[in-house]
Every structure is written in structure tokens, then in C-alpha cells.
């Protein structure tokens, strides 16, 4: 945790260092900007799977449910990108909206259904390092970030008219710390101003359980499974809009 705090402080300080084009020497250019894109992330959810497919808790349904891939959006900022002749280094921060939804029929009430939604929203701060391949294409050799998850899980019962009958929400008792590493490519549409960036990586996240306001937990306290016991592969494609400092 101490190392994570150090990384965050470094990233927050970087944008305030007075640098301009050619300040660093070796043809270095200081850049900043914003970005937005779409993302997918895989994860393993043994505790949720155990809960949702329990014959005791959900005897009214025969179909199985497994949460394993979330989709959503990412918005963020390249706080500072130091671009040299033969390499670049970027400090960045972002917020990611990520969710997965499943539905199944409720056999106890005609034409009603149960809806389940897992939200894996999180903040992230990180650094990347890369090299130019061609005049319009860069290789982001490695990217690493610390992530802060504020995830939740929601279950609803919906009647035949599409109206919500009941809802129960489970959340985390505190923000969960994770991290990810990845690599990617950056295609420059308008050099230094507009680019498309594609990143593939692996996320590491561990969530023991979700808890409701009335003290219920997923999975149950007696269970040895974790709600989310590991992360997985992720992919993001984003549009960057930048400007020289």
C-alpha cells in the first residue's frame, strides 16, 4: 500500500513540473490530453457462481449463471507524456465503468424474471513506456497501473410488465486495491493531437465478499470461495486528444 501511495504522489507531481518543448533535451516534447474508449475485462467469480446456482437459495430456477466478462467505458487523462526522439513516458489516470448483466426466469411467478448485475467500476493511475516504430505508429512496450475498485452486485425481481418488484444491493466494505500490466499500439491520426490507442493486458483483483445493508453476504460467511478471486485478460481501444505543453 505504501508503494501505491508513492506512485500516486509521483504521478500527481509530474504535471506541475515546468517543462516545455525541448526542455529535456534530445528532442523531448511535453504533451498532455484526455481520452475515452471502450473496454472489456475478464474475471473469475467462484463465490458469485456458488451463490447464484445454489439449489437451496434459487430452487425456483433451473438455468445456471456465471459472471466472467464485463464490458464498458473508460475515460481519463494523459496527465503528462514526455516524448523523446526514441522513446516516450506517460503518466495517466482514468475511471472505468464496467458491468455484466444476466437474467433468468423465476418459476414461482408466471412471466417474472430475476436480474443480476455485477459492477466492476474502478479508478486507476499508472505509467507507460514505449518507443516509436514508424512516423505514425508507436509501440507501448509496457503499461502498469494501480487500481481502486468500488464494485457492487445487484439482484432484482421483475414482473411480467417489466416493473421492478424488489431489489437488493451488495457492496464492498472498503475499496479494493488491484493492479494491471499490459502493452499496446498507438496510431497517430494527427501527430501530437489525435491518436487511437489499443491496449491488451492482465488485471489482478481479489474480492472476498459483497455485503448488503442488512448484513447478508455473497458468498455466505461459511463459504471458502471468494466472490472474485482473480482478474484476467482485458482489452481497451480509446481515442486520445492531446496538446503540446
DSSP string, 23-68: TTSTT-EEEEEEEEEEEEEE-B-HHHHHHHT-TTTTTT--------
* Domain enclosing residue 100, as ranges: 24-244
Does residue 8 sit within a domain?
Answer: no
Helices (H), 166-237: none
Is the confidence at residue 10, as pLDDT, over 60? no
Our count of domains for the chain comes to 1
Q: How far apart are CA 137 and CA 36, in angstroms?
A: 19
Q: How far apart are CA 124 and CA 138, in angstroms?
A: 22
Does residue 16 sit within a domain?
Answer: no
Is the confidence at residue 52, as pLDDT, over 50? yes
Alpha carbon 81 to chain centroid distance?
22
What's the CATH number where 179 sits?
2.40.160.20
Is the confidence at residue 42, as pLDDT, over 90? yes
Neighbours of 12 (CB within 10 A): 13
pLDDT at residue 61 in the model: 63
Looking only at the bridges linking them, the beta strands covering 122-132 and 164-171 are unpaired
Query: What cell was used for 234?
Result: 482485458
pLDDT at residue 35 in the model: 96
Does residue 15 sit within a domain?
Answer: no
Does residue 14 sit within a domain?
Answer: no
Does residue 10 sit within a domain?
Answer: no
pLDDT at residue 62 in the model: 63
Residue 230's pLDDT band (cuts 50, 70, 90): confident
Does residue 12 sit within a domain?
Answer: no
- pLDDT higher for 78 or 63? 78
Does residue 7 sit within a domain?
Answer: no
User: Tens of pLDDT along 159-188?
Assistant: 877 788 889 999 998 999 999 999 999 999
Does residue 35 sit within a domain?
Answer: yes
pLDDT at residue 178 in the model: 95
For the entire predicted model, the pTM comes to 0.81
Per the CB < 8 A criterion, the answer to whether 87 and 77 are in contact is: no
Nearest to 81 by CA among 204, 3, 197: 197
pLDDT at residue 58 in the model: 66
Amino acid at each position: 500500500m505504501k508503494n501505491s501511495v508513492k506512485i500516486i504522489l509521483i504521478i500527481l507531481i509530474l504535471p506541475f513540473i515546468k517543462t516545455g518543448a525541448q526542455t529535456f533535451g534530445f528532442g523531448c516534447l511535453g504533451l498532455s490530453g484526455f481520452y475515452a474508449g471502450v473496454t472489456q475485462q475478464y474475471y473469475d467469480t467462484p463465490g458469485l457462481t456458488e451463490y447464484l446456482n445454489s439449489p437451496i437459495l434459487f430452487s425456483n430456477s433451473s438455468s445456471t449463471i456465471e459472471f466472467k466478462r464485463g464490458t464498458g467505458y473508460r475515460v481519463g487523462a494523459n496527465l503528462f507524456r514526455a516524448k523523446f526522439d526514441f522513446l516516450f513516458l506517460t503518466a495517466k489516470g482514468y475511471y472505468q465503468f464496467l458491468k455484466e448483466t444476466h437474467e433468468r426466469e423465476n418459476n414461482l411467478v408466471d412471466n417474472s424474471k430475476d436480474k443480476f448485475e455485477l459492477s466492476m467500476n474502478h479508478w486507476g493511475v499508472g505509467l507507460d513506456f514505449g518507443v516509436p516504430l514508424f512516423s505514425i505508429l508507436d509501440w507501448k512496450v509496457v503499461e502498469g497501473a494501480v487500481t481502486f475498485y468500488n464494485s457492487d452486485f445487484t439482484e432484482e425481481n421483475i414482473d411480467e410488465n417489466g416493473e421492478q418488484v424488489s431489489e437488493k444491493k451488495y457492496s464492498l466494505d472498503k475499496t479494493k486495491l488491484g493492479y494491471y500490466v499490459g502493452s499496446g499500439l498507438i496510431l497517430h491520426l494527427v501527430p501530437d493531437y489525435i491518436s487511437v490507442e489499443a491496449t491488451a493486458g492482465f488485471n489482478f483483483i481479489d474480492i472476498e465478499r459483497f455485503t448488503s445493508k442488512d448484513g447478508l453476504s455473497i458468498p455466505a460467511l461459511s463459504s471458502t470461495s471468494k466472490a472474485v478471486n482473480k482478474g484476467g485478460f482485458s482489452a481497451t481501444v480509446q481515442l486520445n486528444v492531446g496538446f503540446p505543453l
